[in-house]
Amino acid sequence: MTAIPASAASRPDSGGASPSVPRHVAIIMDGNGRWAKKRGLPRAAGHKAGAESVRKVLKAAGEAGVQCLTLYAFSSENWRRPETEISDLMGLLRFYLKAELSALHKQGVRIKIIGDYKVFPEDIVKMLEDAMALTAGNDRLTLAVALNYGSRDEMARAARILAGQVAAGSMKADAITPEAVDNLLYTADLPPLDLLIRTSGECRLSNFLLWQAAYAEMLFVDTLWPDFGGEAFRGALDDFARRERRYGGL
């Protein structure tokens, strides 16, 4: 396991105190393809195994008292992958929305989608919006799924909105603060990001929650995502609890 601490949360509000349980955990779920290749299986088998890890980690997050779990499921760059793999991913998304939605709702999980998901096939868009509407009142845990998400696009979108407000005279340029930007991001209604995990040994953010991760603790682990289950997630929470967060102070 390779752990790289970094300061975390775009809106630090803990007064320098480090809670034992992170409010908001985000995961870059990396390694499905390599997991499948090691076993001589098609990449689709890796994605299916990875979806099982989502179920285990979500259960562990709920039991630990995490308020929000954000998963990087499909980036805006993933459209560059082979068409067959994209088709497999869309099929897997349809399957798990149908298979898991009822159980998630009963468990008090609120589903939120971040990213420009409306470019997906029409039936998937409807399924996503139905899932968000059904679970909107749930408050045990928020599951935020990043679909067609890119952090730089997210920040550019916020900048365009603010520029339009300045041009229209409804806002002064000097009123553009970090808080003003934060309030226009997809994550505006989520707790500040406390912990960001990436699996598979890669040590980069890959255009994921760049703004939100400004003060986040970061943990890079060698485990491939399909092998990262509840025990590994609890280990990550234990690592977080041992860290001291100063937010630039002493």
Annotated binding-site residue numbers for substrate: 31-35, 43, 47, 75-77, 79, 81, 198, 204-206
* Active-site entry in 78, 138, 183, 207: 78
In whole angstroms, what is the distance from residue 65 CA to residue 24 CA? 10
Residue numbers belonging to the annotated binding site: 30-35, 43, 47, 75-77, 79, 81, 198, 204-206, 217
SS (H, E, C) 166-212: HHHCCCCHHHCCHHHHHCCCCCCCCCCCCEEEECCCCCCCCCCCCCH
Cα torsion angle, 16, 21, 103, 26, sign: positive
What is each CA distance from 90 to 123, 142, 188, in whole angstroms? 10, 22, 27
Closest C-alpha among 250, 248, 242 to residue 3: 242
Q: Which two tokens stand for residue 101?
A: 């939605």
Say whether 78 is catalytic.
Answer: yes
The rounded distance, in Å, linking the Cα atoms of 228 and 31 is 10
Q: Are 69 and 144 in contact (CB under 8 A)?
A: yes
Q: Are 14 and 186 in contact (CB under 8 A)?
A: no
Could you say which of 30, 88, 148, 194 is catalytic? 30
The residues annotated with a catalytic role in the active site are: 30, 78
